[in-house]
Amino acid sequence: MFDICDTHVKKTKYDKKLFDRYYHMLDRCYNPKNEGYDNYGGRGIVVCDEWRESKHKFFEWCLLNGYDESLDLDRTDNNKGYDPGNCRFITHKENMKNRRR
């Protein structure tokens, strides 16, 4: 897990999954070569400026909002982007029910 000290996030042994989530989120939204791009960036799904400009702000939000490596990061409105007001952590099973058809 991460420890929050003011605005700094210190890495510990559990941070790889959180880093991976961050970079996969960006890749889906901004890399046309990503296999999921058509369903994300290609539809106009973006990452808010705060998170895009600072992975530490994203990590901080995650830790304060229920991050657990067993949970999925979910957008409550699938037509909106990744931002603090539209994201939450839910189980993978719940996330599969929330898919866009």
Q: How many CB atoms lie within 10 A of CB 31?
A: 13
* pLDDT, tens digit (0-9, with 9 covering 90-100), for 22-64: 999 999 999 999 999 999 999 999 999 999 999 999 999 999 9
How far apart (Å, rounded) are the C-alpha atoms in residues 25 and 6? Answer: 25
Q: Indicate whether 1 pLDDT > 50.
A: no
How far apart (Å, rounded) are the C-alpha atoms in residues 88 and 86? Answer: 7
CB 17 within 8 A of CB 69: yes
pLDDT bucket at 84, cuts 50 / 70 / 90: very high
**Per residue in 48-62, is it b (16+ CB within 10 Å) or e — as a string?**
beebbeeeebbbbbb
Report if pTM > 0.85.
Answer: no
pLDDT score at 95: 86
E strand or H helix at 48: none
pLDDT bucket at 100, cuts 50 / 70 / 90: low
